[in-house]
């Protein structure tokens, strides 16, 4: 029988605890837990950020990891908070309290659109944030909640979502120019609770719930070029109620259900890979930032947790299992 | 994989740092319960840093059960119309590994 020593010319280390900074490919036997361990590469890791003042799920997000914006949902459902990389402070309130809306833009130039106003009326309204207060924008043609959003305040895209209760998911895309919405190309697969990010002319719609009435998931990724959607690589772990950040060719998708989980997945424009896991499993959270510097906030219960993702390869400890 | 449990309040920034989450798995559960790998020096140091209180699996399970029961009771108390409109449905029980 082949031995580790015979193959690699060295013996497996016996350590009473895992090394604090394992090397890639380092193998050791933890003599306390009686487990064989190895150092492997993982894409990115999460750290906690400052907690939201208002815990909530079904909110929307915009901005970056160090200049993030959270708005909507919770009680009374119109609260806005601004993140500076350390803590959240209150911003101006949305005129229309609502949950399960979508967001686009930056902390000082954001758009919020769609959603559901209490007690369950679906919305097509758009509001625009200038860093201080919200003002009314143009209405979407399709009223919907749990939609995807991408782009900026004046060049945004809205896609997917649930159009009523009970009513079907929509495949419709709409494009915003800062004043009014016009129709764009339809998704191949109608769905809601998708992971949406990118720009109006290079948007990404990943996974989500294609069922009109119950919990369901799809692995489908679709890419928008400003005119039509085409199929991208399938996600590894199907989700709904997840958040996404980044661009069409460099995206990060995180959290989701079912059940609420900590999964993160990275997309390079072709293929998805798994990344470091969040500490707090949750769905109906919001996201901001880029693939290598993302922000996750809200979702789950109590719904105030914030986590910051830093991309790049890190060596982590994994237990060797199997035969 | 063997796990240990502790309770600690997530104060936000700095509670879990990149250098910690990349060295061992930290998983949050209802009731400020955190699951970490057993027999892991770095994980034990993190618990010390966050002033965590170690719990046996049974104690941690009881805390999680109480939080889930609270959330389930809140859901059960909703009017039928709101239950039907609920996005996520009734919170599910969580069994610790």
The fourth-level CATH superfamily of domain A48-314 is Kelch-type beta propeller (2.120.10.80)
**Does an H or E element contain A250, and which?**
strand A250-254
pLDDT tens figures, A149-166: 999 999 999 999 999 877
Signed CA dihedral, B29, A80, A208, A224: sign only: negative
Nearest 5°: CA angle at A254, between B35 and A40? 65
Which pLDDT value is given to residue A21?
Answer: 78
Which pLDDT value is given to residue A167?
Answer: 77
In chain B, where are the structural domains located? 3-85
pLDDT tens figures, B7-57: 999 998 999 998 898 888 899 999 999 999 988 888 999 999 999 999 999
Using a CB–CB cutoff of 8 Å, tell me whether A49 touches chain B.
yes
Residues of chain A found within 8 Å of residue B25, distances taken between Cβ atoms: 277
Which pLDDT value is given to residue B83?
Answer: 74
Which pLDDT value is given to residue B88?
Answer: 65
Which pLDDT value is given to residue A176?
Answer: 98
Residues of chain A found within 8 Å of residue B70, distances taken between Cβ atoms: none
Using a CB–CB cutoff of 8 Å, tell me whether A279 touches chain B.
yes
Average pLDDT over residues A173-190: 97
Average pLDDT over residues A195-203: 98
**Rounded Cα–Cα distance for residues B81 and B83 (Å):** 5
Q: How confident is the model at residue A46 (pLDDT cuts 50, 70, 90)?
A: very high
Token pair of A207, please?
A: 């996974």
Picking from A276, A281, A283, the nearest residue to B88 by CB comes out as A283
Whether the pLDDT of residue A83 is over 70: the answer is yes
Q: What is the 3-state secondary structure (H, E, C) of B29-94?
A: ECCCEEEEECCCHHHHHHHHHCCCEEECHHHHHHHHHHHHHHHHHHHHCCCHHHHHHCCCCCCCCC
Whether the pLDDT of residue A304 is over 90: the answer is yes
Which pLDDT value is given to residue A301?
Answer: 78
The pTM for the full model equals: 0.89
Using a CB–CB cutoff of 8 Å, tell me whether A186 touches chain B.
no
In chain A, where are the structural domains located? 48-314
Residue ranges of alpha helices (H) inside chain A are 4-8
Which pLDDT value is given to residue B87?
Answer: 62
Using a CB–CB cutoff of 8 Å, tell me whether B97 touches chain A.
no
ipTM metric? 0.80
Residues of chain B found within 8 Å of residue A279, distances taken between Cβ atoms: 16, 21, 26-28, 34
Picking from A30, A50, A315, the nearest residue to B12 by CB comes out as A50
């Amino acid at each position: 029988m082949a031995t580790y020593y015979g193959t690699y010319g060295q013996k497996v280390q016996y350590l009473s605890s895992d090394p604090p900074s394992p090397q890639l490919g380092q193998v050791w036997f933890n003599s306390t837990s009686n487990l064989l361990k190895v150092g492997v590469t993982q894409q990115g890791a999460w750290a906690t950020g400052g907690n939201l003042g208002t815990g909530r799920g079904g909110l929307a997000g915009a901005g970056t990891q160090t200049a993030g914006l959270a708005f909507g949902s919770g009680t009374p459902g119109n609260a806005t908070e601004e993140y500076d990389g350390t803590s959240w402070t209150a911003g101006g309130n949305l005129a229309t309290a609502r949950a399960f809306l979508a967001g686009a833009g930056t902390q000082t130039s954001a758009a919020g659109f769609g959603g559901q106003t209490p007690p369950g009326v679906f919305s097509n309204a758009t509001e625009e944030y200038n860093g201080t207060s919200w003002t009314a924008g143009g209405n979407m043609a399709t009223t919907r909640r749990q939609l995807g959003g991408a782009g900026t305040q004046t060049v945004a895209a809205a896609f997917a979502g649930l159009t009523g209760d009970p009513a079907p998911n929509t495949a419709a895309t709409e494009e915003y120019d800062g004043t009014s919405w016009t129709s764009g190309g339809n998704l191949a697969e109608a769905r809601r609770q998708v992971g949406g990010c990118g720009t109006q002319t290079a948007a990404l719609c990943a996974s989500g719930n294609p069922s009109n009435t119950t919990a369901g998931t799809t692995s489908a990724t679709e890419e928008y070029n400003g005119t039509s959607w085409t199929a991208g690589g399938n996600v590894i772990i199907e989700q709904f109620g997840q958040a996404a950040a980044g661009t069409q060719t460099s995206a990060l998708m995180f959290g989701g259900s079912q059940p609420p989980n900590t999964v993160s997945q990275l997309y390079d424009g072709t293929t998805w890979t798994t990344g470091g896991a969040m500490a707090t499993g949750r769905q109906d959270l919001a996201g901001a930032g880029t693939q290598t510097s993302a922000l996750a906030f809200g979702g789950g219960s109590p719904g105030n947790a914030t986590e910051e993702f830093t991309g790049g390869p890190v060596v982590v400890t994994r237990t060797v299992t199997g035969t | 994989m063997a796990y240990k449990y502790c309770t600690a309040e997530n104060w936000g920034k700095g509670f879990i740092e990149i250098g910690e989450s990349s060295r061992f798995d930290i998983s949050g559960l209802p009731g400020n319960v955190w699951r970490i790998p057993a027999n892991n020096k770095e994980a034990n140091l993190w618990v010390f840093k966050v002033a965590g209180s170690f719990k046996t699996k049974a104690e941690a399970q009881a805390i999680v059960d109480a939080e889930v029961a609270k959330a389930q009771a809140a859901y059960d108390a909703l009017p039928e119309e709101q239950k039907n409109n609920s996005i996520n449905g009734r919170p599910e029980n969580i069994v610790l590994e």
